[in-house]
A and B are shown apart, each in its own frame.
Chain A
């Protein structure tokens, strides 16, 4: 059974810092890995999707990498802003394309 772990559970940084969120998964037989953002009381917003054949994806200030062999993904956020404060979830896609989620990293960017 696939298990996804995200470290740290919570992170607080001053505005302007670059930061890295970590995600690990136990079964490397994944189709893709997706990063989401969740604001309090809201649904999930898709940030980046990395196919199993890819190493990384970029969107604006966000860069996500994937290393299937080691079972790891990272989300890099450049020049963080208070508006980036949210919970970030990673999810591994496998099987019937269902996603297995981690518990998330709660990010607070302090002005």
Chain B
């Protein structure tokens, strides 16, 4: 079946602009995660959704970052007033549920470049 998909695959934006990154999880997966990966680093957790609600948003770096999942499927990560330090690969993952038994499956990522 289809895996996790993310759009766009690449996004170049100017400093100060607003961007939206989209994630389509595997069908039937109720848990969804956003991570950010900077060059040479492992991914860092941003936010976790169980269904429609953000169960844990402790990884969001500041209030310029916001994410939604209104119908419990597709999620959008929104970044306001982008800064050059936001440049990274943004990864989305989903799992069958939010539990210790479940593997997280990752999408290909969106490479964001802020100029």
Binary interface profile of A, 84-111, with partner B (CB < 8 Å = 1, else 0)? Answer: 0000010101011111111110000000
Hey, what's the 0/1 contact readout for B98-115 against A, CB within 8 Å counting as 1? 111111111111000000
A52 in contact with B100 given A43-B91, A43-B109 (CB within 8 Å):
yes
Known contacts A43-B108, A96-B48, A96-B55: A4-B42 contact under CB 8 Å: yes
Q: Distance (Å) between the CB of B30 and the closest chain A CB?
A: 12
Which of A44, A45, A49, A103 is the one whose CB lies under 8 Å from B40? A103
Which of these, B40, B43, B100, contacts A97 with CB under 8 Å?
B100
Closest beta carbon of chain B to A107's beta carbon, Å: 15
Size category of the A interface is 20 to 34
A28 at the binding interface (Cβ < 8 Å): no
Query: A residues within 8 A CB of B14?
Result: none
Q: Does A42 contact B (CB under 8 A)?
A: yes
Q: How many residues on B have C-beta within 8 angstroms of the other chain's C-beta atoms?
A: 29
Residues 65-109 of B, flagged 1 when their CB comes within 8 A of A and 0 if not, give: 000000000000000000000000001010100111111111111
Q: State how many angstroms separate the Cβ of B107 from the closest Cβ of chain A.
A: 5
Kindly list 5 other residue pairs between chains A and B, CB separation below 8 angstroms, not including A43-B106, A43-B109. Answer: A44-B93, A96-B48, A97-B48, A97-B100, A99-B45
Q: Identify 13 residue pairs between A and B in the complex whose beta-carbon atoms are under 8 Å apart, listed by A's number.
A: A32-B101, A36-B106, A44-B43, A46-B103, A46-B105, A51-B100, A52-B100, A93-B100, A95-B56, A96-B55, A96-B98, A97-B95, A103-B42
